[in-house]
Amino acid sequence: MQRREFLSAAAMGTVATLARSAAVIPQPVARPVVIGSVNGHFFKNGGQKTVIETAWEMMARGSDVLDALIAGVNIDELDPADPYVGFGGLPNAEGVVELDAAVMHGPSKRAGAVAALEGVRTPSLVAKAVMELTDNHLLVGTGAQHFARNAGFTIESDLNTDTSRQAWLDWKRRTDSANFPDAARRSLTEPAGGFAYSTHMYGTIHCSGVNTAGDVCGVTSTSGRAFKIPGRVGDSPILGAGLYVDGRVGAAGSTGRGEANLFSLASLLVVEGMRAGKSPKDAGMAALQRIRANTIAPRLRKDNGDPNFNILFFIVNTRGEHAGVALYGEDAGERGYAGQTNSEFARYSVCDESGPRIVNVEGLLPGTPQQ
């Protein structure tokens, strides 16, 4: 879509939404925007449009905000090139791809999520089905898979690609030389399947958006921590951790070390900060301070006492004001998407009337995690 078309589509959406809201009660008018993790600006699954472009276009044409965001995220989930999301995501320690996802619909205050789901490429759609079809907010493991099958989703026996399978095999050879003696012939400093463990164990897609009426929604989807203990669930599908949306306040989503987020329920903290009057950036920084204060285990700290990991938040309020924040702004955690970026900075993706782009996040702390 050209910039001109973006503008006219946005204008059409504005007029339609204003007409609708004027007939009912006056609504806060927002600057429409879609934001997300940086992979939202990279992956197209062989098509023409990225995650954020797709979501923006659907939203501008008047689609429900959550439907638009999920349609965008589906592109990344289906794209085998993203090693941390959906089909081809890095598997667990047994070589099985287990996926987590959550969706939240701000205007209707509904939510759904799945965790440790095997065999469905688009866990965000299963999360939406949980939201729409059940009285529950979270289904896990085989129960989630049975639900998905009954809801009409195709269940596949294996979501690995050759690349993810090779990465697992390389990891296995390094970590289990008794059973995989080939490890003895390999250099332990050689990158494993292109994934250097210290920096590339994590990856996720988050996408949130607000339309001209101030309707705000969010989606988070991931294969979680690479080579995790089977059954490990991170922050992504947990409401208040990897995602939180309050239709009257805004949305926050996260990528990075999920355990740190789970301990602090930091997306909820961010949204509560905005409810109390903070800007998206200030609310994000306050949540990062909480995570820093809660990180006291020596194994999780750098020599100077700061957290030895990164975590990012993507934040938007119902006016369309947004921010991306991280413990370390200078840490390009997305180096896993090698070839697509040479940035040294953690970034986030934005799509609004000016078109799609990536923006540096604001860091709380100087430097980077220690390797």
- Residues tagged active-site: 204
Q: Which stretch binds ligand ASP (CB under 6 A): 105-113, 219-227, 265-273, 286-294?
A: 219-227
Q: How far apart are CA 325 and CA 279, in angstroms?
A: 12
Q: Choose which of 128, 173, 200, 225 interacts with ligand ASP (CB under 6 A).
A: 225
Q: Which stretch binds ligand ASP (CB under 6 A): 143-151, 153-161, 230-238, 280-288?
A: 230-238
Quote the least distance from Cβ 235 to ligand ASP, whole Å.
5
Q: How far apart are CA 313 and CA 323, in angstroms?
A: 8
**Region label for 107, one of left (φ > 0), alpha (ψ between -120 and 50) or beta (otherwise):** alpha
Query: For the chain, how long is the longest CA-to-CA vector?
Result: 72
Which run of H or of E encompasses 13?
Answer: helix 3-23
Residue 32 interacts with ligand ASP (CB under 6 A): yes or no: no
Q: How far apart are the first and last CA of the chain?
A: 41
Which residue's CB is nearer to ligand ASP, number 6 or number 348?
348
Quote the least distance from Cβ 172 to ligand ASP, whole Å.
20
Quote the least distance from Cβ 94 to ligand ASP, whole Å.
17
Single-letter amino acid code for the residue at 159: L
| C-alpha 356, offset from chain centre | 17
Among the listed residues 56, 57, 130, 104, the one whose alpha carbon sits nearest the alpha carbon of residue 216: 104
Footprint of ligand ASP on 249-268 (CB under 6 A): 255-256, 258
Quote the least distance from Cβ 171 to ligand ASP, whole Å.
16
Q: Which stretch binds ligand ASP (CB under 6 A): 85-93, 182-190, 231-239, 363-371?
A: 231-239
CA distances from 277 to 81, 123, 247, 337, 365 (A): 40, 34, 15, 36, 23
Which residue's CB is nearer to ligand ASP, number 153 or number 314?
314
Residue 222 interacts with ligand ASP (CB under 6 A): yes or no: yes
The structure tokens listed for 66 are 């959550």
The single residue listed with the structure tokens 């995602």 is: 243
Residue 272 interacts with ligand ASP (CB under 6 A): yes or no: no
Q: Choose which of 14, 92, 204, 267 interacts with ligand ASP (CB under 6 A).
A: 204
Q: Choose which of 83, 86, 218, 224 interacts with ligand ASP (CB under 6 A).
A: 224
Number of residues interacting with ligand ASP: please give it, by CB under 6 A: 13
Q: In 3-state terms, what secondary structure has residue 329?
A: coil
Q: How far apart are CA 117 and CA 126, in angstroms?
A: 9
Residue 235 interacts with ligand ASP (CB under 6 A): yes or no: yes
- Tell me which residues touch ligand ASP (CB under 6 A): 202-204, 222, 224-225, 234-236, 242, 255-256, 258
